Structure 1
Amino acid sequence: MSSASTSLLPVDANLGWALAVLLATAVAVTATARLSPDQGFGRAREVLTAGVRAAVQLIAVSAVIGWVVSSRSGLPAFLILMYGVAVRTAGRRITANGSWWWAGMPIAVSVIPAIALLLATGLVPPHGIAVIPITGILIGGALTATVLAGRQSLSALAQRHGEVEAGLALGMTERDARIEIARPAASDALLPGLDQTRTVGLVTLPGAFVGMLLGGADPLVAGAVQLFVLIALMAVQAVAVTVTLELVARCHITSEQPDGPRATRARRFSVHRRRTPVTPQP
């Protein structure tokens, strides 16, 4: 099986050249098309940085993975590191202010119960070689869902803030007014996971399935494990989107500073509405 794996993707100079060409192509296309919010070259730099970081990080992980999977202290430390990086990445994508650390809640609330269920039922053995990749897949899915839900919710609230204020004028709480506007946008964060699950086996062969096949597993067993991962991933993303939406609605995650002008104005207006009695019209 090792010879098959080697022939599939030889680790030699050709691999390095192929990776360099593909990364250069991604950077060149992104820069030429100016695929950045400001139509500049920011995204092109991010693509280059992401590619280089991925190479460095995978090399480092490959060097320490043997120690991590066999060490009692190494495994939890590595899982905490994965979680911390995911929280910081999601938080920075959602908002640039001090509320970024709230991104840790949807990731933790969605991933921890799923991993606990996998371990409790024995579907995933409590060994690093099994726990690390499954946890990584679920954390990655929660990260993506949190970022998409947060960004789209905040964008909808920024574009439709007048509707939020109209809801406050009608007597709605700030949480209810914000969540009514943000919910449709946040729900779109579930679409990538839904499309991946719908097209599995027809358009794509996911990594867990391919990895088990390359490791010599029976195709039916590999398919069953991949199906379980996809269903668990949908559950994780649904919870992550729901928690993120709630945090945005309650102004814990916001694109403004905590005492920004719009938030302050909305709170003053809401308080004024609650304190001012409504006089019936004749």
Structure 2
Amino acid sequence: MDLDLTWINVAASLTLVVAVVALSMWLRLGLTRGVVIAAARAAVQLLAVGSVLIVVLRPTAPLVWSWLWVGAMVVLATGVVRRRARRLAPFQPPIPLVAAAILVPLAVCLAVTFGMGVFDLTPTALVPVSGILLGNSLPATVAAASRFEELLSDERGQIEAMLALGFEGPAALRPQVRTAIRTALIPQIERTSVVGLVALPGAMTGMILAGADPLDAVAAQMIVMFLLLGAVAITVAFVVVGTASRSITSDQRLARPLHSVVEGGRAVTDG
């Protein structure tokens, strides 16, 4: 498929971004700065990534470069999850846990995708498939960590009461763990349920545009979607359960995050 794109096309695509900025200013949503920064960062990151991918995805490029690229994505994803969950210190999920939560499902998905011959193991398949898997797992995991943090703060009294009554840590935190995981997985479940009816996923669309048989494209997309749903669920569950296990002290008390909290109408600093 040949594309004839110019920077005029890119500029035209900013029309709706400008509309979002105008809407934010009009309704005083407080999103103007975030939208502008997000768009600018996306442009810079995509230009940087595109310049590197020109080399990595060359037909003659060694496959090891693509594996190194995937490894870099895993490292960056691990850092993002840790950084977004920094308010959960001292029971912030440890780096090995987050890395394993991201890497294990990714490895299983790649093994199925390429080991069973769904796609040929080439740079042009390895990097995009890995990006799709990580790109969906990352926001869900961050959402789960953020929701779990909110629940620990909002329901601290209930959790401490259950611990005082003799409940073990996992039992006392089970409602919060369940809610955080459900909150993070519902969007992914909804996306899976409407695929093909409302949304045409990128992998299938790309294969069809490249000339593949529509039924082959559908079969490949089904495999990717099912693996994706499982990978997101496993990653989210790993991080939330691992974080919960660190939030109870050895004497069966709920640890306090090392950031300012409000108690009794006044700000205090824990730790």
> How big is the alpha-carbon RMSD for the aligned residues of Structure 1 and Structure 2?
2.6
* Among candidates 47, 67, 71, match of residue 76 of structure 1: 67
Q: Is 1:49 the counterpart of 2:17 in the alignment?
A: no
* Match for residue 21 of structure 2 among 9, 24, 27: 27
| Alpha-carbon displacement from aligned partner over 1:148-180 (angstroms, at most 9, x marks no partner) | 211112211211111111110121222331233
Distance (whole Å) between structure 1 residues aligned to residue 69 and residue 130 of structure 2:
11
Give the Å deviation of 1:65: 1.6
CA drift at 1:181: 2.5
Q: Please state if 1:91 is matched with 2:92.
A: no
Map of 2:53 onto structure 1:
65
The residue type paired with residue 14 of structure 1 is: I
Structure 1, unmatched stretches of 5+, are 36-40, 263-282
User: Displacement of 1:255 after TM fit?
Assistant: 8.1
The answer (yes or no) to whether the contact 1:149–1:185 under 8 Å persists in 2 is: yes
Counterpart Cα distance in 1 of 2:115 and 2:7: 44
2:152 corresponds to 1:152: no
Q: CA deviation at 1:30?
A: 3.2
Distance verdict in 2 for CA 1:63–1:86, change over 3 Å: same
SS state at 2:246 partner: coil
- In 2, the alpha carbon distance for the partners of 1:257 and 1:175 equals 22
Structure 1 length-normalised TM: 0.79
Q: Does 1:111 align with 2:106?
A: yes
How far off its partner does 1:92 sit?
2.5
Task: Summarize the Cα distance change of 1:252–1:107 in structure 2 as closer, same or farther, 3 Å threshold.
Answer: farther
- Letter in structure 2 aligned against 1:171: G
Q: Displacement, 1:136? A: 0.6
Q: Among residues 189, 212, 226, which one is paired with 2:207 in the alignment?
A: 212
Moved more, 178-187 or 148-157: 178-187
Deviating more after overlay: 104-113 vs 225-234: 104-113
Distance 1:76 1:232 in 2: 20
Q: Which residue number corresponds to residue 256 of structure 1?
A: 257
- Structure 2 length as normaliser, TM-score? 0.82
Is residue 2:4 matched to residue 1:16?
no
State the Cα deviation string for residues 93-114 of structure 1 (Å, max 9, x = none): 3334573645333222322222
**1:207-249, Cα deviation, whole Å (9 max, x unpaired):** 1111112211111111111111110111001101211221221
How far does residue 252 in structure 1 lie from its aligned partner after superposition?
Answer: 6.4
In 2, the alpha carbon distance for the partners of 1:185 and 1:73 equals 37
Give the 3-state SS of the residue equivalent to 1:256 in structure 2.
Answer: coil
Partner amino acid for 2:24?
Answer: T
* Aligned partner (choices 119, 123, 141) of residue 118 of structure 2: 123
Task: Work out the percentage of aligned pairs sharing the same amino acid.
Answer: 32
Partner of 1:165: 160
- Paired with 1:255 and 1:129, the residues of 2 have a C-alpha distance of 46
Q: Is the 8 A contact 1:110 1:239 kept in 2?
A: yes
**Number of the residue aligned with 1:189:** 184
After the TM superposition, which residues 196-207 of structure 1 pair with which residues of structure 2 at under 5 Å, given as runs? Answer: 196-207=191-202
Do 2:180 and 2:240's aligned partners in 1 also have CA atoms closer than 8 Å? no
CA distance in 2, matches of 1:248, 1:211: 38
8 Å CA contact 1:179, 1:246 repeated in 2: no
Contact kept, 8 Å, 2:140 with 2:185, in 1: the verdict is: yes
CA distance in 2, matches of 1:11, 1:201: 27
Which segments of 5 or more consecutive residues in structure 2 lack a partner in the other structure?
A: 249-254, 264-271
CA contact (8 A) 2:63 2:122 kept: no
User: Which shifted more, 236-245 or 23-32?
Assistant: 23-32
Checking the alignment, whether the CA contact within 8 Å between 2:145 and 2:180 is kept in structure 1 is: no
User: Relative to structure 1, is the Cα distance of residues 252 and 140 closer, same or farther in structure 2, using a 3 angstrom cutoff?
Assistant: farther
The Cα of 1:44 is off from its aligned counterpart by 2.6
For 1:16 and 1:72, the matched residues in 2 are separated by 31
Query: Judging changes above 3 Å, is the alpha-carbon distance between structure 1 residues 252 and 139 closer, same or farther for their aligned structure 2 residues?
Result: farther
Which amino acid in 1 is paired with 2:76? Answer: V
Letter of the structure 1 residue corresponding to residue 128 of structure 2: P
